Amino acid sequence: MTPKEHGFGFSTDSVGIALTISGFMLLFFQGYCFTYLSNRFQLTTLFAIAAAQYYVLLIAFPSLSYIATNRVLLWFLLSIHLFFRTCVGAVLFTVIFIQIAKSCPTEYRGVVNGFAQSLAALGRTISPLLGGWVWNVSLQIDHPLSHYLVFILMIFLNTVMCWGGYRVACLLPATTNAVEVNTRHTELS
């Protein structure tokens, strides 16, 4: 079985299990870990660290197909990969939207957030189409590493996102670079 022909060889049930694992990891990370990280690091620092880690994940993912015949090892490594990919994606997405929300006046925040969410939804609409097309093209190329083509495109897009996102974040006021922790104290009388 070659990666070009079969990838992981997952059934639809296996894909569902992998996505379910990823979803639970996202809930755990967003609920517990992101707050800790955002209290320790500035948002632009978190963005830069997560974007750099995304490169490693993009390179590592297609390499997992070489061990697809060893199902136990594949699921073990895939679970680790999904955990880190979920964490990195959550950091990138959350940091961007926190900075968007904090960079505009309160009276325009709803419109700005709505516009940002609409652009994100447009990206999630176009990306599968573009990714599927690039994947089909890569399967038609007779080269041992052709299954990396879609990941090379993703690395390029990640580079554009890192450069653009970091440049924009550096232009924002310093007040957008930290997350305020709301603490409520109850006075006993």
In this predicted model, what pLDDT tens digit does every residue of 76-123 receive, in sequence order?
Answer: 888 888 889 889 988 988 888 888 888 888 899 899 889 988 988 998
Q: Are 146 and 135 in contact (CB under 8 A)?
A: no
| Tally of CB atoms within 10 A around 58 | 19
Quote the CA–CA distance of 166 and 168 in Å, as a whole number. Answer: 5
Kindly indicate the confidence band of residue 178, based on its pLDDT and cuts at 50, 70 and 90.
Answer: low
Alpha carbons 111 and 81: distance in angstroms, whole number: 36
Output the pLDDT for position 185.
39
> Whole-prediction pTM value?
0.74
Q: What is 114-138 written as a DSSP string?
A: HHHHHHHHHHHHHHHHHHHHHHHHH
* pLDDT of res. 179: 62
